[in-house]
Structure 1
Amino acid sequence: MSNPPRPQYPKAGPPPARPAPPPYPEQEAAPPPPPEYPAPTDPKEPPSYPTAPAAERPPPQDAYGPSDAPPEARRHPHEMAFAPRRIHLKDQQRGADATAFGTLLLHLPAFLCSLAVVAGVSYLLLPEVGWVPAVLWIASGALAFHRPTEGFFARHVLGFRYPTLHERDRLAPAWQEVTARAGVDGRAYELWIEESEELNAYATAGHIVGVTRFSLDHLPSGQLAAVLAHELGHHTGGHAWSSLLGYWYALPGRLAWAALCVVTRLVILVTSRISPAVTSLLCLVAFPLLLFLTLSVWYLVLPLLIAPYLLAAVGRRAELRADRHAAALGFAPMLSEVLSTMHTSERAVEAAALQAGEQGHHPGFVAGLLSTHPAYHTRLHHLEPYLRLQG
């Protein structure tokens, strides 16, 4: 059988030409690489970022407002806008400087007298376990750093109150700026308000910073920050807790001395009503006895007599150190203005008293030695080097 014929297929022609791809746009120039930031020399310090040349920077804005604006529309030169910033905390955020140790050392004689009073009363009342109250009294000094006790002390002893929401909104930015510059965790401290019409602030106990309502309402934000920086200096230097501990441990001795003075006055008053001769006899007996006790324990009596003057001198040194702390953080011009305002207000009060026919208050030499704050001109003089640097 013959094979059937194969079907004839048409021959394949050349493949159709593919359409040309659409033209691609020319590649744009690559964006410039981001600037390389230099690595900081100290890992705790933030890197320094490059800034634009002076010719390319926008002209600075007048911090006081337009020159043709009315005075009430111009901003105060110490009104600052505090922006959030990175905080680099120090390893050691608080300590005790020489003034703190000096305060504790000068309170040592009063502490020994108080210990004798507490131990004596304890053994009289509890002969078998008289040492227990004395030990508990010594350990009670730790309550100066106990937060609930600090709050009780601030509210019921100092008369402070918690800030309202509006007051907290005013305080928080300034406090955050101060603690950020100092490298301190601001959350470790508590801010309180004192209802007072005086320009003042306080640092007390272990973590309390108090501000008067007048300061909060009338100070520009920069001056408010300067005041807070001053009080933070008292805390970081150990001035606040050392003063409170010294006062607490000297309290029993002071109470015993006050009670002795009251009893002596009552005895003199009663005996003078009975017979002046008996009063004279008691004085003749008591004076040699007091003189003998003074000479026999002069090493304890003499420090007690000169301690107030030395403590006042240390307190003045602590104020200058706190001023230096605020100035080193960049608040020297603001703090100088606050001190000048306080000095002007004090002189205005004296002038008003003189016009009213009252005798002006001019502290004498002894009162000046017992003052815990330096004179305003002294504090302003110590701020001058920082003013020259920041000017």
Structure 2
Amino acid sequence: MSLVVVVSASAALDTVMGLPYWIPTLLWVASGALVFHRPTEDRFARHVLKLQRPMPQEAAMLEPVWREVTSRAGVDGQRYELWIDNSQDLNAYAAAGHIVGVTRFALERLPSAQLAAVLAHELGHHTGGHAWSSLLGHWYSLPGRIAWQVSRAIVVFVVSVAGAVSSGAAGVLVVVIGAAASAVTIVLYGLPLVLLVIPYLMAAVERRGELRADEHAAALGFGPMLAEVLTTMHAMEPAAGQTPARPSAPARLLSSHPDYPTRLRRLRPYLDAQG
């Protein structure tokens, strides 16, 4: 659907400016390679993720732990860039092709063994291809998602204006828009309907990636330490000591992370084997 949107926009540029439609389309398709372009990653880390390079004392704490993790995994740790997120949350993340970010809270408060478990989890995202595939998924679906949101906003606005004038006019307009939407869906072989399920599919893929990254860390021998971190994060989740309300089914389906009990349950076979 995004490709349809990009080609249509490119064709409009071709009509107005004489720019061959295939040039913007080709540039958009090729732009995904920037996920692995180090200078672009650096700008992405600094300006989008708001990360900072580790200070010397932070690097002295972080790099030995990272070396242990990458040594166990049998990968070259220098392939990846370590960054600091100036946050007081217990968190870390992998992004793009080579970014590993750790919050300052995690770096300063977690014992080395637990920090190693967190970094092993993030390394699992990179070695499993979760980080770059997730970013590419969001990037390439962006034109389609924007087109859907703009179209929906326009329809809501037009129907609201028609409803203010006459309820009959609003009803007729809804029928006309529905017929037009059905015709477009048929012409495009049902592709617009995919936009309705894409957020749920992407969230499901991300949840699976989280479980795979947990398994990666556990397979390297960090299962007990990772379970300790997840238990701590689960305990920190309720606000002001109150038990949070159970999220609705759509909210759970749109969540990018499985709930903590699920993650801990999936780690149990590794804990039993290592115990």
Would the TM-score normalized by the shorter structure come out above 0.5?
yes
Distance in 1 between residues matched to 2:156 and 2:181, nearest whole Å:
15
Matched, 1:224 2:115: yes
Q: Which moved more, 1:249-258 or 1:203-212?
A: 249-258
Counterparts in 2 of 1:350 and 1:365: CA distance versus 1, 3 Å: farther
**1:134 aligns to 2:25 (yes or no):** yes
Aligned equivalents of 2:71, 2:27: Cα separation in 1: 39
Aligned to 1:174: 65
CA distance in 1, matches of 2:253, 2:240: 21
Tell me which residue corresponds to 1:162: 53
Structure 1 residue ranges without an equivalent (≥5): 1-112, 355-359
User: How far 1:269 sits from its partner (Å)?
Assistant: 4.0
Cα-to-partner distance string for 1:288-341 (whole Å, 9 max, x where unaligned): 222343355454244333333333222222111111111111111110100000
Contact 1:163-1:193 at 8 Å conserved across structures: yes
CA RMSD of aligned residues (A): 1.9
Question: Aligned residue for 1:351?
Answer: 241
Aligned-pair identity (%): 57
Structure 1 counterpart of 2:249:
365
1:377 and 1:168 map into 2 onto residues whose CA distance is 33
Which residue pairs with 1:147 in the alignment? 38
Q: How many residues align?
A: 272
* Equivalent residue for 1:258, pick from 132, 149, 152: 149
User: Are 1:119 and 2:10 counterparts?
Assistant: no
Greater share of helix: 2
Q: Tell me the equivalent position of 2:219.
A: 328
| Pairs within 5 Å for 1:163-312 | 163-295=54-186, 297=188, 299-312=190-203
1:342 paired to 2:230: no
Paired AA for residue 227 in structure 2: S
User: 1:361, CA displacement in angstroms?
Assistant: 3.3
Structure 1 residue 118 displacement after superposition: 1.1
Which runs of 4 or more aligned residues in structure 1 lie more than 4 Å from their structure 2 counterparts after TM superposition? Answer: 272-277, 295-298
Aligned-residue offset at 1:363: 0.5
Distance 1:254 1:163 in 2: 36
Q: Distance in 2 between matches of 1:261 and 1:329?
A: 47
- C-alpha change, 1:217 and 1:322, in structure 2 (3 Å) is same
Bigger Rg, which one: 1
| Distance in 2 of aligned mates of 1:289 and 1:314 | 32
Q: CA deviation at 1:213?
A: 1.2
- Per the alignment, residue 384 of structure 1 pairs with 268
Task: Please list every run of 5 or more consecutive structure 2 residues that lacks an aligned counterpart in the other structure.
Answer: none
C-alpha separation in 2, matches of 1:336 and 1:290: 49
**Which AA in structure 1 matches 2:126?**
H
The alignment's TM-score, normalised by the length of structure 1, stands at 0.65
> SS of the residue aligned with 1:247?
helix
